[in-house]
Structure 1
Amino acid sequence: MKIPTPRYRCPLGRLQPDTTDLDAIKQRGWRDQHILVVNAFDERLDFIEREIVRRIGERLYGQGGTNHG
């Protein structure tokens, strides 16, 4: 009869952070505060929607985000 050896559990394992569901945070931000976080290359968007997001980003934040103000 084989008795399995108990696995050593590192005490630091409980200090590792839980993974965060980023889509849930984005969804809650939109619903609660009307803050929208969008990747301009998100595959869920069609070409027109991606282009709109890109143009809004350029208008608000300038060429590649270098022109603030």
Structure 2
Amino acid sequence: MDIPTPRYRCPLGRLQPEPMDVEAVKRRGWREQRLLVVSLEDDRLDWMERELIRRIGERLYGAREARHG
């Protein structure tokens, strides 16, 4: 009779965070607190929406710094 050998369970395993559903967090933030988190690279936005968001971001937080590299 084959008895499976018990596997050692590392105690650090339970400290690993569970993967977060980022879209669900964004959705909940909008519905509960009216916070909007959006990327300009989001494929769901058209050019006009991206431009509007970019202008609002620059007005509130300043223009993006140029990268030298």
TM-score, L = length of structure 1: 0.77
**Structure 2, unaligned stretches of length 5 or more?**
none
Shift of 1:6: 3.8
Partner of 2:18: 18
**Structure 1, unaligned stretches of length 5 or more?**
none
TM-score, L = length of structure 2: 0.77
The alignment partner of 1:64 has SS state of: coil
Establish whether residue 62 from structure 1 lines up as the match of residue 66 from structure 2: no
Partner of 1:52: 52
Distance in 2 (CA, whole Å) between partners of 1:24 and 1:12 is: 27
Kindly tell me the number of residue pairs found equivalent between the two proteins.
65
- Aligned AA (1:43): D
Identity, % of aligned positions? 66
Q: CA RMSD, aligned part only? A: 1.7
Greater helix fraction, Structure 1 or Structure 2: 1
